[in-house]
Structure 1
Amino acid sequence: MYPNVASTIRKKQLCSKCNKAAGILNCYGCGKDFCYRHVAEHRQELTREMENLTTKHDEFQQTIAEQEKQPNSHPLIQNISQWEQESINKIRQAAENARNALLATLATHRTIVKEDLTRLIGELSKARNEDDYVETDLKEWTEKLNNLQKDLNAAQAIDFGKSENENVLISKIFINGLSADVFQQTCGDIQILDAGRLAAHGLSNQHAVVCGKRLYSSGQHRIRFKIDQCNYVGGLTCGILSKDPPLESIQRFFMNNNNNNMNQRSRSSKKTFANLYTNEHSFNWPASENYGYHNTALANSNENERFNSIPLNNNWQQNDILELRIDCDQKMIYLSNERTHQSEERHIDSNKCALPWQFFVTIFYANSRVRICEETVSTTTKEQLDDWIEDQLATTIH
């Protein structure tokens, strides 16, 4: 029996390019068969790919060489440079704002001193024209003039606010005027200590009033108070009053409202003590689900309309710093707690509470003490401010 010839003949492999002619060469790299004509063509393709790879290699090597010659042309470096310029612009704008604020603060301070000086000159002229003065008058006027000179030279302070993030690059800058005000006049069981900086309540629980020395008729002003000592929460109020109103009327008003509130509480199941607040015409107890409601309208008298106040809510504690801001131009007062960042504001009807204004504080509980804060930051001139800006710019750049 003869063997199958067909089975012994090797099956022909066609060219992978033309798929017609027999493949005479198998490429080890791609594993494909090529005919005589397409073997050379396949080799040429490999040569072109090698040339392209060599070109890419050379281009990449050139890119590295260029970056080594010009490292600052890297996109990330350019991003940093852009950030640097934007930061510098912001610092310069902040510096300009700070300079303007400083100039405005100095101008306002001078205006206050000039107004006080004008009043003093009026007193002197009247007394001289009427030949109505003695040694004590001269001593008092001399002391007033010396105090005005001290006020004019009072330092202007720059506070560098610290961010909660210790890694912050640039500190925020604030311009604040030093408070030259002090406690001067009292009514009730309260006394003034420490050269007018401290108001100390006596041993009784009753409303007492203390007011400031300065008169404010224009511009913006701030007085910062520290609660030096308190035994109970509540019983403190800050506000403003027209020039020289009878403090007895303010004390009497708060005492009457306190008595009315105690009577109301005795008839109410609510036990929470509500704080007093006021608008131009009336003092009210807040009405809410947490408070007993009581409304006592102000008597329609000129005395009671000559003061406006903001109470301290119950979210304060000993050693808190409170800031009373008086805006004579906008007829507004603001009270804020530096620890809690809570604040309230009141609009003042100057037709009823006429300018100039003085600040006042009422204290109820025994042994409570309120202090006018003294600024402890150093004196800073315009030149020192410019030096600080240059330091900040250098820090940013390097």
Structure 2
Amino acid sequence: MASNTLKKRCSKCNKNMSILTCDGCERSFCTKHIADHRQELSIEMDSIGQEYDLLRRDLIRDDNDSHLLFDRINIWERESIIKIQQIAQQARHDLRQCLDENKSQITNNCNKLADELQSNRESGDYTEIDFDLWNKQLRELRKMLEKPPIIDILEDNTLSRPIYMIKIKQKIDQQSTTQMSNCNTISNQFSELPIIQNFNTFIGDAIFTDNHHVAKHSGDSQRSTMVYLTKFYLSGIHRIRFRIEQKLNKYLFFGIVNSLEEMNRDIFNSPSLYGWMSPISRVVKSQKVVINPVNTIFNEGDEISLTLNCNIQQILLEHHRTDIIDRLPIDIRVCPLPWRVVIAFFSSNDSVRIIY
């Protein structure tokens, strides 16, 4: 009786005395239930194997050519036609090379994991500790596959050039860097691509100069003037940078409106109007909303970037002097795609330049 009290009981039935303790879960099992426990481990091993198979399937299906930046490159290519086709082809090569490097890294890590899973499956040498490690590796690989490397296009804002240049460049996301996701950075030899944008219509009194890259309020300072950019935006991500050349009134307006909206001086009564009167003052469905009590306004000489993300129905303002960044979600029920960029002047001689 004394010897029985020193033995551990089976963690399954709590009746029979244990004959073996599992090093993985540190639980003890009797003769009857040790086999059941090994069966449970075998089922878990099969589950990890199935998850690996799904990852391999999705990796094979993943198509680099669906990346959003290709749309932007293709749009530029159609507008610039023959003289920039060679540059566009080089840009595609650089972008595809970066994506392929990331995909190759995932593939190599998948192969290493496959070898390890097969070896341990054949030898039966695995425990819950191994499962935790393999599941973690699978999650990291899945994250690498579903969240490609952060890539952006560098734009050359040299004003002397008739066509402004953009470049393919990969960014490094410090927060998502892991031991298994060290994607090599792209070569410094980037291809250059021009992007074309300018002012072309207005309501009120305005003049356009410098190949329609500068818009200026030319009328009565008591009446507002709205100027519109050329393009309509239906899909993709688009970024335009402006510089305020002259400004007298406290406010300017940078934003969007539905492209089918009739142009008129009552635009600020339009429900499809979204944007900013200042870096901290939004206009949402034509209603002004102050988002920050700080007294910050647009000043002469300021540079502002406006990003239109049609894919997630959002616009973003970057005020580079103050480093203020504000994201504004768009209700496409009242402001459906395609969108058009509009700037409103409130004083005579106010002017804005498109940098790129």
When the two structures are superposed, what TM-score results if normalisation uses the length of structure 2? 0.45
Whichever structure has more strand as a proportion of its residues is 2
When the two structures are superposed, what TM-score results if normalisation uses the length of structure 1? 0.41
Per chain length, whose mean CA-contact separation is higher, i.e. which structure has more relative contact order (CA < 8 Å, sep 6+)? 1
